[in-house]
Structure 1
């Protein structure tokens, strides 16, 4: 079974890399994420963070409970929910080293931001950073960052991982979004929001 799964992941990654090299305007970062996306595709049946609605706005706690917050899970849930909002017809996860305040950058292990575009192929997002996924090297840095961000935006902290919800999507309940993300880890996280 493991060999079949590994072979499927390799085949999926090869297809994704081949498609990305076929004249598409994908960034180099997307190519680096292809193996993770392929693994998610095999496990879920849909590309992680594809931004395409699947009809499911919430995630169910499953075998992920107790394993910590995973980017692939957050990416899929975010894309599925946010692209249902008329203000975010096309969504895309990107890396951006300036997405975290400079005082926290050295403590970041992984950073991704979800941007909204009016149409596919647009160079500039119409709404940037509608969700932020940050994995820190240590839980104390994650907590300090989450508390700072919660002064303006709702945040979810799970161990050394933080998800920040933007406020630009008027038809999307960001607190409910963070609750759905928290469900994927069995409710192990804490949602912080300004009073």
Structure 2
């Protein structure tokens, strides 16, 4: 911070008084400032949907996207362990029966934190995985596909939105130049 001294004007305070006031003001501000790292929030579908809709819905490669309860992007035994599951899929246009890019982002709640962690560890070798965020009994996965959004960045935005909750586990496509992007050419 740069302090400017010597500004003219009548009725000014002395340098010592200004310095004392600045210290007490800074001390008061420090007491009222929020902690640097807020306590993590619970990772919920509404939170993920809000962040995901903004990024994925604006992707030029996704004509029309929506969250559905299909299970294209989660295999056995993990699909059987979920208590709530949604995936974001892209279609050429609204009303189409089959997506052209299914399961771009998934949200899964498992019966136990151990099941979510096992699923997260599975994504390290899952050929279609960019990465997964595991928090308690919940996992949010980014998968490869035709979207051009940086999926690793998007997953980190979800983590930031929940106050830094959980752990990001990288999958095989985490280091792609545009993680998860597959060229159509």
TM range (shorter): 0.5 to 0.7
In the other structure, the counterpart of 2:166 is 189
Q: Does 2:106 match 1:129?
A: no
Contact 1:142–1:162 (Cα < 8 Å) also in 2: yes
In the TM superposition, residue 98 of structure 1 has moved relative to its aligned partner by 5.7
Pairs aligned (count):
132
SS at 2:108 equivalent: strand
In the other structure, the counterpart of 2:44 is 70
SS at 1:79 equivalent: helix
Q: Does 2:145 match 1:175?
A: no
Segments of structure 2 that go 5 or more residues without pairing to the other structure are 1-37, 173-185
Q: Which has the higher helix share?
A: 1
What is the TM-score of this pair, normalised by structure 2?
A: 0.66
- Which protein has the larger Cα radius of gyration, Structure 1 or Structure 2? 2
Distance 1:170 1:119 in 2: 15
In the TM superposition, residue 182 of structure 1 has moved relative to its aligned partner by 0.3
Q: Does 2:89 match 1:112?
A: no
What is the TM-score of this pair, normalised by structure 1?
A: 0.62
Question: Relative to 1, partners in 2 of residues 1:65 and 1:82: Cα closer, same or farther, differing over 3 Å?
Answer: farther
Contact 2:73–2:102 (Cα < 8 Å) also in 1: no
SS at 1:102 equivalent: coil
Segments of structure 1 that go 5 or more residues without pairing to the other structure are 1-63
Q: Does 2:65 match 1:88?
A: no
In the TM superposition, residue 65 of structure 1 has moved relative to its aligned partner by 5.0
